[in-house]
Amino acid sequence: MSIRYIKETKQLILETKNTGYHMKIDQLGYLQHMYYGPKPGQDDMSYAFRYYDRGFSGNPYDKRYDRTYSLDSMPQEYTSFGVGDFRINSIAASCSDGSRCAEFRYVSHEIKEGKYSIPGLPSVYENCGKAQTLIVTLKDTAANIGIRLYYGVFEDLDVITRSAEIFNAGEEMVWLRKASSMCLELPYGSWDMMHFHGRHCMERQAERVKLFHGVHTLVSGRGMSSHQHNPFIIICDHDTTEDSGPCYGMMLMYSGNHKTEVELDQFESVRVVMGLNDDRFRWELAPGTSLNTPEVILSYAEGLTQLSHNYHRCIRNNVVKGKFKYSHRPVLVNNWEATYFDFNEEKLLQIAEKAADLGMELFVLDDGWFTNREDDNAGLGDWVVDTNKLPGGLESLISKVKAMGLRFGLWIEPEMISEDSDLYRAHPDWALTAPGRAPMMARNQLVLDLSNPDVHEYLYKTISGLLRDYDIDYIKWDFNRPISDVYSHATPSALQGEVPHRYYLSLYKLYDRLTSEFPDVLFEGCAGGGGRFDAGMLQYSPQIWTSDNTDPVSRLAIQYGTSFGYPCSAMGAHVSASPNHQTGRKTPLSTRGITAMAGSFGYELDLTKLTEEECAEIKEQIKRYKDVEPVVHSGLHYRLSDPSENKGYYCWEHVSEDKSRCLLSIVVTDPQANYTLAHVRLKGLDPNAVYSVGGEFECRGSTLMRNGYTFPQLTGDYPARQLDIIRI
């Protein structure tokens, strides 16, 4: 069993293959967090927590004469608020009498076989392995607010999931002002935090900082998980490396506004609270109703590499759904950087014909295919084919592309609306705009109010209509501006604080309807590139456009940071033109190919302008990718270089699960005269097996992992090399 209750000591113990998570119901009914880390057995871990007078830390009324007992120092599973714990809290609410406090104590618990699901929200699911669920009910009797804490235990994955359901058990209205998914305490230790910040075209830049006293807050209020702060952090020891040292991962499975708070308190204890962003959040809980929070995926490991492997396996196997979770992803060409808005059918067919000749499998028509769309200032919302560009419509173009042996994909941005569109002229109230206020514009577009059921149905009918009317194999679903001026014209004024979350409940429902009805269509997520790269979106789109920045050198840092939590199979990665359109940098075609092969592979350039030599090289790249795709998508990923060490290169490795094949890749970012050759120790090989190393020599796995491999001198502008290491 993965979940145990020890009645004598009132312990609740969750166990995975390598980890243990311990809670205890204390003498007053508070649910204490006692331990999370390497599996310790069933010892009562509360021995490590000492009660003593902390000096003006308040005491619950039941313990008013015991100054050693204080919520302000106690490690808790989900905190009370307004009653003496002055650290960051998990929840905040207002009651009908105006009070803003609640004290949650244990009521009951239930252990179930299988994994819980969350109404309306994506969550980790069972797949080829058993899971168990623990539900702990807490309640405040004065405010009549209850909380069900959900824990999903995936023993084989070394993953524990968390979610909360907050319910009104009374007869008066309650207004939630904060509703977090998880609180995790680390009472002892000295910790760093890794987070993944960025901006458009430079997403998920890995940063590691030592925790200081106070609260670190990572937040997105942009209406999406954002380019700026990914909803994933790692707490690790100062000495933790890729290969050793304790580290805790916390990943919120949500695509909207989120908030993570990390507090190092006065007693050197660390508390992490993660969930919905509470800024302008207000949720009405009528008697008998509840709110479910998004799921947090927790994992503990020794070493950052193992932590990444835990997340990669979980997302590949238990988050991504549908036909494409394991199957080959077609090598595509997208016309965007080849033509932008300036194209006609003839130009598109020239690119498609060249793509077929080179061995590509999917042609994707990007923005500009619908009426009134000569630039990004108009047309969004109408989704009617522009017959000036495409005289025969989509049907003619698709039939001609299919006749070449290619599949067909289409770009859409369904959540957006242009003021200059028939849809806006008919339904201006469908846009999120505040009354009497000129809205902020971005790309001269507004955001549709998906919390409005009429908008939801319009989008369902529009997208499903496209997929029924045309033979479409792939949808690139874009989202190109943050959400501001959040006001729903279909929602009462008292409920406006619910609109941002209701937006995502509607979006997930829309995705679920479409992916269920059209299981053979590959959906790729996009939000100005990587602005919505999160586990919530990966439930519906098995790959996400990693960044609008297609420069291979910039992509190295983006893909490096992304790899800490997300598998390579999820990263859309394309070979683009040189000089690059975003940076102007010139790079060899081989370097662009090797960088893009670390994800879901494709091309984004004008194929008709290639030289014969480039065409020959691309043909070989495509053959190569199809050969290595299984080990890239399903194997173990190892980061063999750390950019903070400024060695002038990025090096990474993919190893098949059975250790029979290794793909070793390097890109030199700072070639120097008479420089020290790049030398790396390989990882993940069978120590007793003999491997052929790029056809150069044969060597035991143990030797390659201990003594390493030295690359030959790589010169020129951003040189790269990829090596096959095959067990013989």
Asked if the peptide bond before residue 482 counts as cis, ω within 30 degrees of 0, the response is no
H-helix or E-strand containing 552?
helix 552-562
Q: List the structure tokens of 492.
A: 């009462």
pLDDT at 520: 98
Q: Which residues are 328's β-sheet partners?
A: none
What would the mean pLDDT of 657-665 be, rounded to a whole number? 98
Burial-class residue 712 by CB neighbours within 10 Å (0-12, 13-18, 19+). Answer: exposed
Which of 257, 291, 318 is where one domain is finished? 318
Look at the chain and report how many structural domains it folds into.
Answer: 3
Residue 89, domain CATH? 2.70.98.60
Q: Which residues are 21's β-sheet partners?
A: 14, 36
Task: Supply the range of the domain harboring residue 721.
Answer: 639-727
Q: Is the pLDDT of residue 672 over 90?
A: no
* Cβ atoms within 10 Å, residue 381: 29
Rounded to 5°, the CA angle 710-716-717 comes to 110
Which of 587, 617, 633 is where one domain is finished? 633
User: Which distant-in-sequence residues (6+ apart) come within 8 Å of 498 by Cβ?
Assistant: 282, 283, 284, 451, 491
Q: Classify residue 221: in a domain, yes or no.
A: no
> How do residues 460-487 score in pLDDT, each as one tens digit?
999 999 999 999 999 999 999 999 999 9
pLDDT at 160: 98
Position 566, amino acid: Y
Alpha carbons 474 and 407: distance in angstroms, whole number:
8
Q: Are residues 706 and 609 in the same domain?
A: no
Q: Classify residue 161: in a domain, yes or no.
A: yes
Residue written as tokens 């120092």?
Answer: 73
Q: Are residues 491 and 360 in the same domain?
A: yes
Q: What number of residues does the chain have? A: 728
Q: Are residues 132 and 94 in the same domain?
A: yes
What would the mean pLDDT of 287-307 be, rounded to a whole number? 98
Average pLDDT, the chain: 97
Q: Are residues 399 and 544 in the same domain?
A: yes
Alpha carbons 321 and 328: distance in angstroms, whole number:
14
Alpha carbons 177 and 387: distance in angstroms, whole number:
50
Q: Classify residue 696: in a domain, yes or no.
A: yes
Burial-class residue 426 by CB neighbours within 10 Å (0-12, 13-18, 19+). Answer: exposed
CB 559 within 8 A of CB 543: no
> How do residues 199-214 score in pLDDT, each as one tens digit?
999 999 999 999 999 9
Q: Are residues 604 and 694 in the same domain?
A: no
Q: Classify residue 263: in a domain, yes or no.
A: no
pLDDT at 468: 98
Q: Classify residue 222: in a domain, yes or no.
A: no
| 614 has catalytic annotation | yes
Q: Are residues 629 and 649 in the same domain?
A: no
Burial-class residue 55 by CB neighbours within 10 Å (0-12, 13-18, 19+). Answer: exposed
- With cut-offs at 50, 70 and 90, classify the pLDDT of residue 5: very high
User: Which distant-in-sequence residues (6+ apart) come within 8 Å of 548 by Cβ?
Assistant: 200, 201, 528, 529, 530, 582
What would the mean pLDDT of 13-24 be, rounded to a whole number? 97
- Catalytic residue (choose from 203, 295, 534, 653): 534
> How do residues 521-567 score in pLDDT, each as one tens digit?
999 999 999 999 999 999 999 999 999 999 999 999 999 999 999 99
Q: Classify residue 198: in a domain, yes or no.
A: no
Q: List the structure tokens of 139.
A: 């309640």
Alpha carbons 127 and 124: distance in angstroms, whole number:
9
Q: Is the pLDDT of residue 436 over 80?
A: yes
Q: Which residues are 362's β-sheet partners?
A: 332, 407
Q: Are residues 643 and 616 in the same domain?
A: no
Which of 582, 599, 633 is where one domain is finished? 633
Q: Are residues 21 and 148 in the same domain?
A: yes
Q: Are residues 646 and 592 in the same domain?
A: no
Residue 569 backbone phi and psi in degrees, to 5: -60, -20
pLDDT at 51: 87
| 413 has catalytic annotation | no
Q: Is the pLDDT of residue 671 over 90?
A: no
Instruction: Give the Å distances, CA to CA, from 49 to 29, 75, 404.
Output: 16, 9, 69
Q: Is the pLDDT of residue 300 over 80?
A: yes
Q: Is the pLDDT of residue 1 over 80?
A: no
Residue written as tokens 């909803």?
Answer: 231
What would the mean pLDDT of 427-451 be, rounded to a whole number? 97
Q: Is the pLDDT of residue 578 over 80?
A: yes
User: Which distant-in-sequence residues (6+ apart) come within 8 Å of 436 by Cβ?
Assistant: none
Q: Is the pLDDT of residue 664 over 90?
A: yes
pLDDT at 676: 85
Q: Is the pLDDT of residue 129 over 90?
A: no
> How do residues 212-252 score in pLDDT, each as one tens digit?
999 999 999 999 999 999 999 999 999 999 999 999 999 99
Residue 476, domain CATH? 3.20.20.70
- Catalytic residue (choose from 374, 614, 617, 724): 614
Question: pTM for the complete prediction?
Answer: 0.98
What would the mean pLDDT of 658-669 be, rounded to a whole number? 98
Q: Classify residue 585: in a domain, yes or no.
A: yes
